Every structure is written in structure tokens, then in C-alpha cells.
Amino acid sequence: MSVPPRQRSPLAVLGTLAGVVLLAVGGPGVAFGAAAHSASAVDLPPAPSPQRCAGVQAHRTLPVTESFDARPGAPRVFAIQYKQDLANVVTYDSFRVKIECLLRQDVLPHLAADRPSVVVLNEDIGLATIATGTRGAAARDLFGHPGSPSCEGQGAPCATLAALAAVSAAYAPQVTAYHARFPALASVSQAFVGATDTLVRGFMGTFSGLARRYGVYMVGSTDVPPFSQSTDSQDITTFADPDLPRPTSVYVASAPQVYNTALMWGPHDVRGDGPAEPVKPGETLHVRI
């Protein structure tokens, strides 16, 4: 799934209590909230069975390329090219199962005992989770059936824009609420802002919990606005996913800008008081894992 041009920005160091967010690409002054406070390893459903993993396996895989760093303590990095598939974002659980099966198949058998393991997924792996649930059904249908809508002669962006329009329509109450908060909210960004809770709960919650469960560092990216976690009753009423039981908190956009955001989750807590200041352009960021 491609999207219109997005903002790319400096790095920021983040920390959460549940599956630590260590690293993010965000704008100047951008703050990303506790990205998966409710998705610790303890909260995850049981790991999928081998039979269920077999059912979500890609029909084609390529041979593994190996290159080992002999330096003591050097991290073992697993780079996985995940194939986007609409079936993997029908529910939060279907996305979690697919990613967890990849870990169990390609990572866990090769973990090193004497060095950290870092699992890196391809860019925008979390983007398709915007189409999760009943509110994403229309967008999934658009991409699953290229003939609807008819985009002949209009170029590739046609279906993408149509899908974003479908997401905006499905999230109409949330989009309306955000327009009231952010009068400058752009039409091309409103789908991502409206679906903030879905993006965080699905993509970030999954990576956070799995990093904790398997003791690995996980790197992935998506397109998301700055956000915070809210326990306000009115926010929960407005922004909670109608497919789920009423939660104790929701993830709420705190600005109208949408950033192409890369994040790293780790297995241990490093800080629980929110993000540090973003790294300034030209500065070097060192992350100890």
C-alpha cells in the first residue's frame, strides 16, 4: 500500500513501560506516548500453534543470506521482508499471529545466547493496519478488488486515495473530532489521524508485546501522528474501537501532522517517563542494546 508524500524528520529517543520504544523518527518537538502500555508480553494471547502458523505462511520464500560479525557482543540482526497481505490485517489478532509466526519460524531457532538479537522488518510494515477491523473493511475491499473503483488511466495513486477516503469515511466521528481539535488538519492526513488508536494498538502493541515475550529488539515503521495515551472518559467514548470491549485507555493524536515513523522496541524497561528531546539534525545518536 503506498501513500502520498509524508514528512521525514529527526530522531527522537522514547521509552515506555511495556515493550520499550527506544528510537523513533519524529518532527521537532514531537512526542510519542507510551506506545503499547496495554500490550505487554503478559497481555498477549497464547503463541500461535504450528498449524496456525502454517496457515499464514507465504506461498514463496527466498533463501536466507547470512553474514556473521565475529566481534564480541555485536548484535545479531535479522532482516525480514514481510509480504503485505490483506488477510493479515483483518483483525488485531491476525496481524499479531503473522508477525509472531515469522519470529517463531525465522528468528527463534537462530537466537544467540551471548549477544542481543535485533529483528528489522521492511519499511511501513505497520501501514496496512490502518485497514484493521470493520472500519477498515471498505479499504481492504478496494485493494483486494482492483476493479473497484475504476482507476483506468488515472495512475497508481487513484486506488490509494480511494482507500484513504474509505478510511476517512469509516472514521468519520473520529475525523470530525480531530478537525475540531486541529482546524488545520489536512485532508490527506485525516485518515491516519482518525485511525491513531487503531495504528498504535495494532502495529505498535504487537511489536511491543512480542519484543517482551521473546527477549528481542524489534524495529518497524508506519505513518502516524504524534500521540498520547488518554484515560479520559470522553476520549475513550470518541476514539475507542467499536469492535472491542470498552478499553481503560485510548491513544489520541496530539498534533495533526503525520510522520513516517521508525521505532525500536526492546525487551526491558529503560525509562517510563515519556520521550526525551528529539536528536537535532546532524547529531549522532548512540543506542545501547
pLDDT, tens only, 37-76: 444 444 789 999 999 999 999 888 888 888 888 888 889 9
Angle at 117 between CA 224 and CA 209, to 5 degrees: 45
Q: Is the pLDDT of residue 152 over 80?
A: no
Average pLDDT over the chain reads: 81
Q: Is the pLDDT of residue 5 over 90?
A: no
pLDDT value at residue 1: 38
pLDDT value at residue 112: 85
| Residue, of 150 and 73, whose pLDDT is higher | 73
Q: Residue 154: which residues within 8 A CB-CB, separation 6 or more?
A: none
| Residue, of 159 and 177, whose pLDDT is higher | 177
The percentage of the chain sitting over the pLDDT mark of 70, rounded to a whole number, equals 73
pLDDT value at residue 144: 76
| Helix H or strand E segment including 264 | strand 259-266
| Contact (Cβ atoms closer than 8 angstroms) between residue 107 and residue 280 | no
Q: Is the pLDDT of residue 16 over 50?
A: no
pLDDT value at residue 154: 56
- The region of weakest confidence among 113-122, 232-241, 276-285 is 276-285
Closest CA to 200 of 46, 69, 39: 39
pLDDT value at residue 27: 41
pLDDT value at residue 71: 86
Average pLDDT over residues 2-31: 39
Backbone angles phi, psi at 262, to 5 degrees: -105, 135
| Helix H or strand E segment including 227 | strand 227-230
| Residue, of 207 and 270, whose pLDDT is higher | 207
